Amino acid sequence: MTGSFPAVRPRRLRSTPALRRLVAETRIDPAQLILPLFVRDDVVDPVPITSMPGVVQHTVDTLKAAVNEAADLGVGGVMLFGVPSDEVKDGVGSAATDPEGVLNAATRAVAAEVGDAIVVQTDLCLDEFTDHGHCGVLAPDGSVDNDATLGRYRDMAVEQARAGSQLLGLSGMMDGQVAAVRAALDNEGFQDVAILAYAAKYASAFYGPFREAVGSTLKGDRKTYQLDPANRREGLREALLDVDEGADVVMVKPAMSYLDLVADVSAAVPVPTWAYQVSGEYAMIEAAAANGWIDRDRAILESVLGIRRAGAEAVLTYWAVELAERLRKEGRA
Give the active site residue among 64, 219, 223, 253: 253
Specify which residues 31 forms β-bridges with: none
Q: Which is nearer to ligand PBG, 53 or 332 (CB)?
A: 53
Instruction: Kindly write down the DSSP assignment for every residue of 186-249, as one continuous string.
Output: HHTT-TT-EEEEEEEEB--GGGHHHHHHTT----S--TTTSBPTT-SHHHHHHHHHHHHHT-SE
Of the pair 123, 333, the CB lying nearest ligand PBG is at 123
Minimum CB separation of residue 329 from ligand PBG in Å reads 26
Residue 155 sits at φ, ψ, to 5 deg, of -65, -40
Compare residues 37 and 114 and give the one whose CB is closer to ligand PBG: 37
Burial of 75 (0-12, 13-18, 19+ CB in 10 A): buried
In the complex, which residues of this chain contact ligand PBG (CB under 6 A)?
123, 125, 127, 171, 207, 210, 222, 278-279
Output the smallest distance, CB 235 to ligand PBG, in A: 15
Task: Say if residue 6 is preceded by a cis peptide, omega within 30 of 0.
Answer: yes
Task: Give the type of residue at 226.
Answer: Q
Exactly one of 201, 219, 223, 329 is catalytic; which is it? Answer: 201
DSSP state, residue 175: T
DSSP state of 184: H
Q: 56 with 38: CB under 8 angstroms? A: yes
Would you say 104 or 333 has its CB closer to ligand PBG? 104
Contact 124, 150 (CB under 8 A): no
Which of 264, 281 has the CB closer to ligand PBG? 281
Helix (H, G, I), strand (E, B) or coil at 33: strand
Active-site residue flag, 253? yes
Dihedrals phi, psi of 152, to nearest 5 degrees: -65, -40
Question: What are the catalytic residues?
Answer: 201, 253
